[in-house]
Chains A and B, each alone.
Chain A
Amino acid sequence: MGNGTSIGRVRGLGSSHHGAQHWLSHRFTAITNLVLMSWLIVSFAVMGDYSYSSVSAWLSHPVSALAMILLVISLFWHAKMGLTVLIEDYVHEAGTKFGVLMALNIAAIGGGAFAVFSIIMLVFGGQA
């Protein structure tokens, strides 16, 4: 970054056409959350039997498992963006903000990966 011309002083500091990305991703994942949560809510409502054998059989079905994996990814992505905005709004000290945002990234990716891995384990039968 230069310090001579006016364009040199601002280049690389702004959003440079990426400012809408976070906003748009939040909307995209909101729509996928809406579709997949509707599926989950209806599935829960009509399930009736919430025993282990019944619920695990339902979730082991390929269609349910794939929908649940997609839902987990969509939810964690959307939630991570929501919490990012919360942190940016209320945590002002730069070092603390960096630390909290890093913890959020670890928790979001770690939690999402654990959830997806759990679904895969259930489908491919780690347990009998």
Chain B
Amino acid sequence: MSQRPLSPHLQIWRWGPHMLVSILHRATGDGMALVGLGVLVWWLGALASGPAAYETFTDIMTSPLGWVVLVGLSWAFFTHMMSGLRHFVLDIGAGYELDTNKFWSIASPVIAIVLTGVFWAVILRVWESQ
């Protein structure tokens, strides 16, 4: 294996937004697979176990570290969703023109941050109004 030639890896290339959006897609996807599904399974298991287990879950998830995890997961979701939608467009063979490709490579993660902000703004607004 070590004798076989390797293609140039990350450090060879000059960074561009398409590389960032590509690695963000993998990082957020696999991050959600490892952390997000763990939180989801814990949340559902706590709901099935009863009020005491659910309170333990909400106590930890509303601690400072818990908030970082929840906000981080929501950001990861919207980032993965936006770059995933970009992939669907690329899959049908569109959006490969240099300018278009660069534009959506930058726009996808930026829109994701906006969506994350909107999501939490709505949550806090509904929460406070109750």
Contacts and interface: CB of A to CB of B under 8 A. Distances in A.
B45 interface: yes
B45 A48 contact: no
B69 interface: no
Nearest to B30: A86
B77 to A, nearest CB: 7
Contacts of B122: 45-46
Contacts of A83: 30, 33-34
Chain B interface mostly: helix
Interface in A67-81: 68, 72, 75-76, 79-80
B26 A79 contact: no
B30 A82 contact: yes
A41 B77 CA distance: 10
Interface in A25-39: 27, 30, 34, 37
A27 B88 CA distance: 8
Interface residues of A, number: 38
Interface in A103-126: 111, 114-115, 117-119, 121-122, 126
Chain A interface mostly: helix
A66 interface: no
B77 A37 contact: yes
Which of A48, A53, A92 neighbours the largest number of chain B CB atoms within 10 Å of its CB?
A48
A50 B62 CA distance: 12
A118 B93 CA distance: 42
Interface string B13-54: 000000000000010011011100100110011011111001
A52 B51 contact: yes
B119 A82 contact: no
B129 interface: yes
B47 A59 contact: yes
Which of B26, B47, B81 neighbours the largest number of chain A CB atoms within 10 Å of its CB?
B47
Interface of A: 27, 30, 34, 37, 41, 44-50, 52-53, 55-56, 59, 68, 72, 75-76, 79-80, 82-83, 86, 92-93, 111, 114-115, 117-119, 121-122, 126-127
21 contacts: A27-B88, A37-B77, A44-B123, A45-B122, A45-B123, A47-B126, A49-B130, A50-B127, A52-B51, A52-B54, A72-B40, A72-B44, A79-B32, A83-B30, A83-B33, A86-B26, A111-B41, A114-B45, A118-B44, A119-B48, A121-B48
In the complex, the 10 A-B pairs of residues with the closest C-beta atoms, listed nearest first? A79-B33, A118-B48, A118-B44, A121-B48, A127-B50, A52-B54, A52-B51, A48-B126, A48-B130, A45-B122
